[in-house]
């Protein structure tokens, strides 16, 4: 109680000081105006007038700085945050957090097992390291937070005057349109996609996957993922190596992906410059990608967009009449429920979200899996024997669940190297939680990498596939494994993602033997942009006969 009274008195003093500062600034301004008004240009005092002007200007600037500092002190006393390295003295740690996220996330979880506040390049971040607190904020208080747009991806979000924030499927679960789109996508995957259609689409892209004696893993998996997500998003789009238009689309997406994961001081400087000026090469590329997707929508609708005078001459989209059973179709089918009404730019942004985010997640997962295949060849051989014993030569989503050891391999690899090591949300309003008073727009982070390496796991740093098999499953700690998100904004394919990755890895192991062609990165390395990826590496793929 004494502490609360003291805080209230401090706040009152700060408010009083701010009022005094404002009054002083006004008095100085009035005095300056009087000096100018009373000065006689003919009296030869022109130099003194100029001097008075600059002195008054300097005093005004000083008073503005004082008011800003008082406001900063006021907010500091008003809001209460968890302890942690969050002061200006820790700016070096902030830069280090930006550039070495994985290492710092584990260190912070060791130093602050429950919760801490850190200063990052993008602002204050309340980092949750305890499973109970993570579930309390990301699930129990999900209505108070929204997924924060990743600062590295200068994405397709746009703001229009008189219209709500334009969003895709990933970013703000509070938005009505995002909720209905997310639900539509989940229903589409469960009811239409998870079956023969998905099996054929994945198998087609696996057959076209370009494996050689020296292939770039990240680049190869990216093109595989992009083509798969594009075919699932718009089934009528021609996906062919001979299609120069689609080839340019792929190349532009890859340029954006490289920019996201670049980890250099030059990249950081460019990011800051683009935030200040609003000009960026990545943003221009992104506009070209959106234009390409917009042509899909126009082709799907079979004509020009209808226009209406009461929507400021914006493009208006209506539900499609031709059923294609793809992601674009599922979005178009819920447009009549949207508020505000989704136009072509919105739909294109949603489709780009699906392709870009989906391909980044799938590329990241497959890159880590192939790295662990060559890091742990004995475990990989066990998986290969399993898929050959089961005759799993072609992708089949439902049959992938029978590959017990292969799926355990996938889960353990994603435990040690999650594709998303931290999930960041930002608060929509001030709120009180536990003993803290959290300010609006404060970031909350769920430390996934810390969950996966916590003391609850037996030998957490060890790659142990057997922990996911048989009776050992009962020893898996509760609420300590979540590689694909939390709460209502979890991955739309959450129910099927493990079977999807298991099936893809199974087919790759059935037909190929993978060997390293040079130094391999360590599992604790990686670049973290939109997803956590291992550093660039190459492998050799040797095709196996069906009887090998």
Angle at 21 between CA 19 and CA 23, to 5 degrees: 70
Mean pLDDT computed over 413-422 = 89
Judge residue 276's burial from the number of C-beta atoms within 10 Å of its C-beta, 0-12 exposed, 13-18 middle, 19 or more buried. Answer: exposed
- Report whether the peptide linkage leading into residue 340 is cis, meaning its omega lies within 30 degrees of zero: yes
pLDDT of res. 89: 52
Judge residue 204's burial from the number of C-beta atoms within 10 Å of its C-beta, 0-12 exposed, 13-18 middle, 19 or more buried. Answer: middle
Contacts for 365 with CB less than 8 Å, ≥ 6 apart? 414, 419, 501
pLDDT of res. 269: 56
Could you tell me which of 331, 328, 82, 330 has the C-alpha nearest to residue 229?
328
CB 531 within 8 A of CB 365: no
Over residues 419-477, the pLDDT tens digits come to 888 887 777 677 788 888 888 778 888 888 888 988 889 888 899 999 999 888 888 88
pLDDT of res. 263: 56
Q: Which of the residue ranges 102-111, 210-219, 235-244, 267-276 has the most confident prediction, judged by mean pLDDT?
A: 210-219
Over residues 159-182, the pLDDT tens digits come to 333 333 333 333 333 467 777 888
Judge residue 338's burial from the number of C-beta atoms within 10 Å of its C-beta, 0-12 exposed, 13-18 middle, 19 or more buried. Answer: middle
Over residues 492-527, the pLDDT tens digits come to 788 899 999 999 999 999 999 999 998 888 877 776
Mean pLDDT value across the chain: 75
Is 491 labeled as ligand-binding? yes
Location of structure tokens 């009528």: 236
User: DSSP of 164-189, one letter per residue?
Assistant: PPP--SSS-TTSHHHHHHHHHHHHHI
Q: How far is CA 400 from CA 243, 285, 393, in A?
A: 33, 38, 11
Rounded distance between C-alpha atoms, residue 398 and residue 298, angstroms: 35
Asked if residue 148 has pLDDT above 70, the reply is no
pLDDT of res. 167: 34
The answer to which of 117-126, 196-205, 401-410, 467-476 has the lowest mean pLDDT is 117-126
pLDDT of res. 93: 54
pLDDT of res. 228: 94
pLDDT of res. 168: 34
Could you tell me which of 1, 428, 369 has the C-alpha nearest to residue 172?
428
Q: Regarding the domain with residue range 176-543, which homologous superfamily does it belong to in the CATH classification?
A: Cytochrome P450 (1.10.630.10)
User: DSSP of 251-271, one letter per residue?
Assistant: HHHHHHHHHHH--SHHHHHHH
* Total-model pTM: 0.77
Sign of CA dihedral 511, 502, 202, 361: negative
Q: Which tops the pLDDT comparison, 148 or 232?
A: 232
Over residues 342-382, the pLDDT tens digits come to 788 788 888 888 888 888 889 999 999 999 999 999 999 99
CB 505 within 8 A of CB 409: yes
- Domain positions in the chain: 2-78, 176-543
The answer to which of 41-50, 457-466, 530-539 has the lowest mean pLDDT is 41-50
CB 343 within 8 A of CB 479: no
pLDDT of res. 110: 84
Asked if residue 262 has pLDDT above 80, the reply is no
Tell me how far apart the 2 most distant CA atoms of the chain are, in Å.
Answer: 107
Mean pLDDT computed over 64-86 = 77
Phi-psi map region of 198: left, alpha, beta (phi>0 left; psi -120 to 50 alpha): alpha
Helices 404-416 and 344-375: crossing angle in degrees, nearest 10, is: 100
The percentage of residues in the chain with a pLDDT greater than 70, rounded to a whole number, is 68
CB 444 within 8 A of CB 427: yes
User: DSSP of 381-437, one letter per residue?
Assistant: HHHHHHHHHTT--S--TTGGGG-HHHHHHHHHHHHHS-S-SEEEEEESS-EEETTEE
Location of structure tokens 């209230």: 8
Asked if residue 413 has pLDDT above 90, the reply is yes
137 pLDDT band (50/70/90 cuts)? confident
Over residues 307-324, the pLDDT tens digits come to 344 444 444 444 444 456
Phi-psi map region of 540: left, alpha, beta (phi>0 left; psi -120 to 50 alpha): beta
Tokens at 429, concatenated: 């309003």
3-state secondary structure of 81: coil
The answer to which of 25-29, 200-204, 273-277 has the lowest mean pLDDT is 273-277
């Amino acid at each position: 109680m004494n502490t609360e009274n003291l805080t209230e008195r401090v706040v009152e003093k700060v408010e009083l000081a701010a009022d005094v500062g404002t009054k002083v600034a006004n008095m100085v301004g009035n005095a300056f105006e009087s000096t100018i008004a009373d000065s006689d240009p003919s009296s030869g005092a022109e130099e003194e007038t100029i001097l008075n002007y600059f002195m008054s200007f300097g005093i005004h600037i000083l008073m503005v700085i004082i008011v800003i500092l008082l406001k900063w002190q006021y907010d500091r006393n008003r809001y209460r945050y968890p302890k942690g390295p969050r002061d200006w003295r820790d700016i070096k740690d902030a830069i280090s957090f930006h550039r070495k996220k994985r290492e710092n996330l584990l260190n912070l979880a060791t130093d602050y097992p429950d919760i801490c506040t850190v200063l990052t390049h993008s602002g204050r971040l309340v980092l949750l390291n305890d499973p109970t607190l993570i579930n309390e904020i990301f699930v129990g208080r999900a209505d108070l937070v929204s997924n924060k747009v990743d600062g590295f991806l200068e994405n397709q979000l746009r703001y229009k005057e008189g219209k709500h924030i334009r969003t895709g499927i990933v970013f703000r679960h509070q938005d009505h349109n995002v909720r209905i789109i997310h639900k539509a996508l989940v229903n589409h995957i469960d009811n239409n996609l998870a079956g023969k259609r998905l099996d054929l689409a994945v198998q087609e892209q696996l057959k076209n996957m370009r494996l050689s004696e020296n292939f770039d893993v990240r680049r190869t998996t990216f093109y595989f993922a992009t083509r798969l997500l594009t075919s699932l998003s718009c089934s009528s789009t021609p996906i062919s190596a001979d299609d120069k238009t689609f080839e340019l689309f792929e190349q532009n997406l890859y340029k954006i992906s490289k920019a996201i994961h670049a980890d250099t001081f030059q990249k950081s400087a460019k990011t800051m410059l683009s935030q200040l000026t609003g000009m960026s090469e990545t943003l221009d590329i992104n506009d070209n990608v959106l234009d390409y997707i917009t042509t899909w929508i126009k082709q799907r609708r079979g004509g020009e967009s209808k226009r209406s005078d009461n929507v400021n001459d914006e493009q208006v989209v209506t539900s499609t009449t031709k059923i294609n059973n793809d992601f674009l179709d599922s979005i178009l089918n819920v447009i009549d429920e949207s508020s505000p009404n989704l136009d072509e730019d919105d739909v294109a942004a949603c489709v780009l979200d699906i392709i870009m985010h989906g391909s980044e997640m799938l590329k990241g997962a497959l890159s880590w899996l192939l790295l662990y295949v060559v890091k742990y060849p004995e475990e990989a051989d066990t998986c290969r024997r399993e898929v050959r014993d089961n005759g799993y030569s072609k992708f089949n989503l439902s049959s992938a669940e029978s590959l017990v050891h292969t799926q355990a391999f996938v889960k353990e690899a994603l435990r040690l190297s999650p594709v998303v090591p931290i999930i960041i949300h930002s608060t929509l309003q001030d709120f009180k939680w536990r003993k803290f008073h959290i300010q609006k727009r404060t970031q909350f982070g769920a430390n996934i990498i810390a969950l996966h390496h916590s003391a609850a796991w037996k030998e957490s740093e060890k790659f142990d596939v057997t922990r996911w098999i048989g009776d050992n499953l009962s020893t898996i700690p509760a609420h300590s494994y979540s590689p694909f998100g939390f709460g209502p904004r979890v991955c739309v394919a959450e129910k099927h993602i493990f079977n999807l990755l298991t099936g893809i890895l199974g087919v790759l192991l059935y037909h190929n033997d993978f060997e390293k062609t040079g130094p391999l990165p360590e599992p604790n390395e990686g670049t973290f942009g939109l997803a956590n990826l291992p550093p660039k590496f190459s492998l050799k793929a040797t095709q196996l006969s069906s009887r090998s």
